[in-house]
Copies of this chain bind each other. A is one copy, B any other.
Amino acid sequence: MLKRFLLTPGPTPVPPEVLAAMAEPVMHHRAPRFTAVLTDVVAGLKSIYQTGNDVLVFASSGTGAMESAVVNLVAPGDRVIVASAGKFGERWLQLNRTWGADVVALEYEYGTRADPADIERALAEHPDVVAVFVQSSETSTGVLNDIRAIGEVVSRTPALLVVDAISGLGATDLRTDEWHVDVCVAGSQKALMVPPGLAYVAVSTKAWKKVEATDNPRYYFDWTAARTKMAGDSAQTPYTPAVSLLAAQNAAIRLIHEEGLENVFERHRMLGRACREGARAQGLSLFGPDDPEANSVTAIVVPDGVDGGRITSLARDKYGVWLAGGQGAMKGRIFRFGHCGYFGASDIVVGLSVMEMVLAELGYPVRWGASLAAAEQVFMQSTVAL
């Protein structure tokens, strides 16, 4: 009998209200009832995206929506900039190369941010760039890029800004319109508090022009078909939608609205801060810059002498807690706490306690209870419910 805790950056825990909505009788997708749900979901997503742009819904994981951005925007031979500093940045690189883009790769070390000045220089050097691809929160490292600054740079050019906000949207402020984000990709399974299976893209007017001019072969992920079918009073999706996940997303959006978007961000600030203070109190080093707004994922450097590969398996098998390990080049070198979405103080408390026990078992000289003591100081000062 092991109680299981997901402390990973996706999938994330799902609130009981959302699970209950998902368990409602399956609705048919060519019915007014579904139109009402879809319309509500899109309106709710727009408020979270902070956008007046179109928001399209796909039954796919986030990667599907990332590929849809490339397919709808990038013709073979088009020049693009990809600013990459982690596994998901590399995914933008692979997707663009797969579809024949001429890629200007700005590759940063894992654990660092993309530099807006580099993007500015690259755009000046390559005035024919059609799009700049970047992450908001790079899930593999927890690092948050400065989308506002990058948006300012890109918006002065004909290029589009395409942001993967899969682990960021709903956890950290991301002002799609104000920050000039032309295409913003998100997924249901992180801060949006629904199981995996739905992906979203917000598409600006500037982006739609490029969509119309790009004639890559595409069918399931064709944005124009989606926009057409999702418009108006009888909105539907072109192909069978994940109806129960949409019912769940509708319930999750209601919870986000009840809490209030600003309170949601503040809750994530507290969780991120507690996690970072908990790690530091244990003498551990954080991976990446100390950023009070990078609150989707906390990445911690595996201390010397500890077998990093065993941290997550011990936590999972002995204590029922799923932490995330390092991905790609970071395998065995970092471990991560995901805390975007349906997370509260209790999850961080459980995660830090398991971290202490697991690190001790792996030979680290643990300061017993120190991580909890540090987290408790953060929680006690919180102005929002945790």
Contact = CB atoms under 8 A, between A and B. Distances in A.
A320 B342 contact: no
A26 interface: no
Contacts of A380: 357, 360-361
A319 B386 contact: yes
Summarize A's interface: helix, strand, loop or mixed.
Answer: helix
Classify chain A: how many residues form its interface, as a range: 35 or more
Interface stretch (A98-106, A158-166, A345-353): A345-353
Interface in A327-376: 342, 344-347, 349-350, 353, 356-357, 360-361, 368-376
A257 to B, nearest CB: 11
A27 B204 CA distance: 53
A213 interface: no
With most chain B CB atoms within 10 A of its CB, the pick from A23, A353, A371 is A353
A2 B344 contact: yes
Contacts of A107: none
Nearest to A20: B23
A259 interface: yes
Interface string A137-148: 000000000000
Give the oligomeric copy count.
2
Contact of A3 (B320, B344, B357, B376): B344
B356 A376 contact: yes
A374 B368 CA distance: 8
Nearest to A360: B380
Contact of A264 (B1, B263, B349, B368): B1
A357 B2 CA distance: 26
B369 A345 contact: no
A209 B342 CA distance: 56
A385 interface: yes
